[in-house]
Amino acid sequence: MDEFDLIHSITPRTIHHSSVDVGIGDDAALYTAKHGVQEIVCVDTMVEDVHFKLHYSSPEDIGYKALAVNISDIAAMGGIPKFYLVSLAVPSKWTESEIKAMYEGMNELAKLYHMDLIGGDTVSTADKLVVTVTVIGEIEKGQACLRSLAKPNDIVFVTGEIGSSAAGLSLLLEETNPQNSSVETDYFIHRHKRPEPRVSVGRLCSIFKRAALNDVSDGLASELNEIAEASCVSIEIVESMLPIHSDLPKLHPNWKEWALFGGEDFELTGTVSNEEWEVLKQECAALHLPITKIGYVREKTKSKVILKTDQTSMILEKKGYNHFK
């Protein structure tokens, strides 16, 4: 593979943002930031056989997801994604057309958000594919949805449904083999391979005076613990209110583990004041964006995140349950 040919073939023909002054083709990219905004920047890496396997993910799937997880981080700040840069360490057995297919997967998603590919690096490796994507976005000054902004009496919510991505992964790894043929396993697999970042919900939250947001990458329990820690509050969620797909319990007795600790749903979870929750709920309904109230923010006590079930309350650690001592 010739790197110069590859660069030529992936260089976008059109640029969405006129603020891009120099894109691919020099030592670095140049752009002019808007006045009155803050720049947002994040980076995430996906590794073959750690985050995906080649026998079930196509190059397009890998590219799509590598960009999606970064857009999700921008969404979790309430921001607008603008630019991306791609760094690939590619095993020599990969063909040029497979590499281009990976860029195609990214481009599919980038077009939806009017994002521009402005740079990157492609190097060879002896072993596993490593895909690193950097995304730059922007947010109106002072409007970012930080983890530290939760306050007692806020409503806790989550978008979409949780646990479906973990279910999809379990199906892909053949750890789960549903007996019930009525379960649409493709749905769960799609949720794992092609998560949809919730940029619109992040944007709605950014307009509020104050909203705390996290994207569900490491699992709902982990994300809510991060908000609780950063905001010095406790969070109480109610098991029966958690939004799950109706087929999830049919797949495996451990479905609650998937919902609470599975991760990779790339939904948004967060908190807003009671009054603003009513506004957010209506706006989401108008835009057909699923969002569910799952609990409340409490004053800080010793226990950070609490799960209430019909019978009991448990402390929800980042990675598991803990019964009260």
Binding-site positions for ATP: 103, 120-121, 147, 217
Which residues are CB-contacts of 189 (< 8 A; sequence separation ≥ 6)? Answer: 168, 171, 172
- Closest distance of CB 153 from its own copies, Å: 23
Q: Is 77 in the site for its own copies (CB under 8 A)?
A: yes
Tokens of 215: 């994207």
Q: Is 29 in the site for its own copies (CB under 8 A)?
A: yes
Q: How many residues bind its own copies (CB under 8 A)?
A: 61
Do strands 37-47 and 291-298 pair parallel, antiparallel, or not at all (unpaired)? unpaired
Sheet of 321-322: strand order equals 212-215, 268-272, 155-159, 291-298, 234-238, 305-308, 313-316, 321-322
What residues from 92 to 131 belong to the interface with its own copies (CB under 8 A)?
118-121, 123-128, 130
How far apart (Å, rounded) are the C-alpha atoms in residues 304 and 300? Answer: 7
Q: Select 223 or 247, whichever has its Cβ closest to its own copies.
A: 223
Residue of 322, 298, 304, 300 whose CA lies nearest to 312? 322
What residues from 267 to 286 belong to the interface with its own copies (CB under 8 A)?
none
Q: Do residues 68 and 110 lie in contact, with contact meaning Cβ atoms separated by under 8 Å?
A: no
Tokens of 173: 């790894």
Q: Select 139 or 233, whichever has its Cβ closest to its own copies.
A: 139
Q: Select 46 or 251, whichever has its Cβ closest to its own copies.
A: 46
Q: Give, in order, the Cα–Cα distances in Å from 73 to each of 58, 76, 158.
A: 23, 5, 15
Q: Do residues 144 and 243 lie in contact, with contact meaning Cβ atoms separated by under 8 Å?
A: no
- Closest distance of CB 132 from its own copies, Å: 4
Q: Which residue ranges are tagged as binding site for Mg(2+)?
A: 27, 44, 73, 121, 215, 218
How far apart (Å, rounded) are the C-alpha atoms in residues 325 and 320? Answer: 15
* Residue written as token pair 């947002």: 40
- Closest distance of CB 126 from its own copies, Å: 6
Residue 252 is given by DSSP the state -
Q: Which residue ranges are tagged as binding site?
A: 27, 44, 51, 73, 103, 120-121, 147, 215, 217-218, 264, 321
What residues from 198 to 257 belong to the interface with its own copies (CB under 8 A)?
213-215, 230
What residues from 133 to 192 belong to the interface with its own copies (CB under 8 A)?
134-137, 139, 141, 144, 146-148
Q: Is 32 in the site for its own copies (CB under 8 A)?
A: yes
- Closest distance of CB 310 from its own copies, Å: 32
Q: Is 41 in the site for its own copies (CB under 8 A)?
A: yes
Q: What is the binding site for its own copies (CB under 8 A)?
A: 21-22, 25-33, 35, 38-47, 49-51, 73-74, 76-77, 79, 83, 85, 87-89, 118-121, 123-128, 130, 132, 134-137, 139, 141, 144, 146-148, 213-215, 230
